[in-house]
Amino acid sequence: MKVNINNKETETAAKSVACLAEELQLPAKGVAVAIDNKLVARTDWSTTPVEEGDNIVIIKAFCGG
């Protein structure tokens, strides 16, 4: 299915946010995910579905200035 991740159309087979995070090899900490401008708590990643056409924003924390 096709979703938009950070404004880029992306093909994915992930059925949940947790599966998407694994597919994208996101780090275990320091990552936030929002779907259609709604933040998804990490505790809900495994139960939050990813659906065709979703607008997903992934933010990674980093150190530095």
Q: What is the mean pLDDT of each run of 10 residues along the chain (65 residues)?
A: 98 98 94 97 97 97 74
CA geometry: angle 46, 52, 32, nearest 5 deg:
45
pTM (predicted TM-score): 0.91
User: For residue 49, what are the β-bridge partners?
Assistant: 16
| Predicted local distance difference test score (pLDDT) of residue 59 | 96
Give residues with Cβ within 8 angstroms of 44, minimum separation 6.
Answer: 17
| Predicted local distance difference test score (pLDDT) of residue 63 | 74
| Predicted local distance difference test score (pLDDT) of residue 28 | 87
